[in-house]
């Protein structure tokens, strides 16, 4: 896999920042997007192999301009890491239409728009790899995660279909599904909640969110190891899988769901498969 030049969204914090730092230390070229270029430059300094780009994922013109500038400076894009986004946790009924749409706008449609802008570059190269950052919560539904799960399940389905479309063109695609890592994901800079309050949900919802507070910075995953892992797998001399689970907990939750689906299928297998035209 060619991996000399990376285009990374959401590079000013979390995994995006960690991976960008490591890539620069290892001699890679990085076009790093953020809504706050000054913040990113203050963290990384000036670097010959770094191009910091101001991008709002809801602004297609800014996305297109960023891709154009990246190609002008680095003459191509080998790997796109769709990393930007935020979490949204609350009950579905207590989440407004506007809040849900905004979550889709940034996390899903923003990712799609960046990918659409990068694809002509990769098609002309006849090579490239696209990472979309999903979540184990985009594979396994949990309480108070309905909006975020909807976004990430959609991301997974889109990624899987996109992988089939792009394979004949020499472009590969992977969805990364991290479990819990000690990043700022559960902090106010990366996570939002719904605004409505319905009494019927109050007791169990409050208990769940009280427990959530104890998870912050106590997750099982080491973000430094995650960043090293993502870079390391791009050096493998083999095609990466479409679905990449990251973390012990991600594997555990995925395996539990796979077993649960198998049990559900087995319960109704005989009548459900006897529906064909005879």
Which residue matches tokens 């960043």?
A: 227
Of these residues, 28, 144, 148, 201, which one is catalytic? 148
Query: What gap in Å lies between CA 100 and CA 146, rounded to an integer?
Result: 10
Query: What gap in Å lies between CA 240 and CA 81, rounded to an integer?
Result: 14
Of these residues, 12, 134, 135, 146, which one is catalytic? 134
Query: What gap in Å lies between CA 83 and CA 133, rounded to an integer?
Result: 5
Catalytic residue list contains 213: no
Catalytic residue list contains 134: yes
Categorise residue 226: left if φ over 0, alpha if ψ from -120 to 50, beta otherwise: alpha
Of these residues, 12, 139, 144, 152, which one is catalytic? 152
Residue 7 backbone dihedrals phi, psi, to 5 degrees: -120, 115
Catalytic residue list contains 144: no
Query: What gap in Å lies between CA 44 and CA 228, rounded to an integer?
Result: 18
Cβ-count burial of 246 within 10 angstroms (0-12 exposed, 13-18 middle, 19+ buried)? buried
Query: What gap in Å lies between CA 178 and CA 136, rounded to an integer?
Result: 6
Query: What gap in Å lies between CA 92 and CA 134, rounded to an integer?
Result: 20
Contact 121, 56 (CB under 8 A): no
From start to end of 128-220, where are the E strands? Answer: 128-133, 171-178, 191-193
- Residues annotated catalytic, as ranges: 134, 148, 152
């Amino acid at each position: 896999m060619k991996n000399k030049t990376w285009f990374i969204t959401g590079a000013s914090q979390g995994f995006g920042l960690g991976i960008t730092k490591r890539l620069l230390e290892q001699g890679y070229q990085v076009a790093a997007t953020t809504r706050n270029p000054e913040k990113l430059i203050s963290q990384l300094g000036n670097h010959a192999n770094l191009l910091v780009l101001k991008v709002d994922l809801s602004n297609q013109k800014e996305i297109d301009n960023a891709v154009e500038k990246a190609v002008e400076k680095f003459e191509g894009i080998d790997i796109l890491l769709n990393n930007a986004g935020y979490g949204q946790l609350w009950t579905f009924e207590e989440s407004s239409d506007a809040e849900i749409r905004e979550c889709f706008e940034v996390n899903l449609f923003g990712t799609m728009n960046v990918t659409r802008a990068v694809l002509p570059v990769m098609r002309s190269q006849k090579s490239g790899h696209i990472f979309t950052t999903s979540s184990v919560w985009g594979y396994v539904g949990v309480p108070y995660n309905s909006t975020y799960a909807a976004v990430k399940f959609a991301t997974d389905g889109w990624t899987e279909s996109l992988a089939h479309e792009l394979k004949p063109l020499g472009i590969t695609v992977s969805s990364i599904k991290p479990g819990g890592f000690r990043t700022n994901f559960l902090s106010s800079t990366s996570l939002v909640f719904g605004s409505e309050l319905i009494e019927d949900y109050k007791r169990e919802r409050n208990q769940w969110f009280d427990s959530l507070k104890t998870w912050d910075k106590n997750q099982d995953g080491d973000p430094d190891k995650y960043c090293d892992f993502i870079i390391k797998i791009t050096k493998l001399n083999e095609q990466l899988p479409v679905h990449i689970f990251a973390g012990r907990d991600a594997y555990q939750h995925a395996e539990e769901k796979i077993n649960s689906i198998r049990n559900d299928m087995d319960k109704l297998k005989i009548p459900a498969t006897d529906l064909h035209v005879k």
